[in-house]
Amino acid sequence: MLFQRIRDLREDADMKQREMAKILHCSQQVYSDYELGTRNLPVDILIRLAQFHHTTTDYLLGLTDKRERPK
């Protein structure tokens, strides 16, 4: 679920993998591996993705279906 959600959020933001990789300070290939689930997603990247997309790590991990971060 994590991999699908980070891809969906990136696509909803109309961003390319290359752009997201630049924000996360990694290569496009590394970011692609995160989306494909072929590389473990480090906790710091998980947190940065949640912050960037204004959501929670629980949403990214599939622990909740609430997409918006509580105010």
Residue boundaries of the structural domains of the chain: 2-61
pLDDT for residue 20: 97
9 contact partners, CB below 8 Å, separation of at least 6: 49, 53, 55
pTM of the entire predicted model: 0.89
pLDDT for residue 71: 64
The domain made up of 2-61 has a fold known as: 434 Repressor (Amino-terminal Domain) (1.10.260)
pLDDT per residue as tens, the chain (71 positions): 889 999 999 999 999 999 999 999 999 999 999 999 999 999 999 999 999 999 999 999 999 988 887 66
Helix, strand, coil percent values for the chain (each to nearest 5) = 60, 0, 40
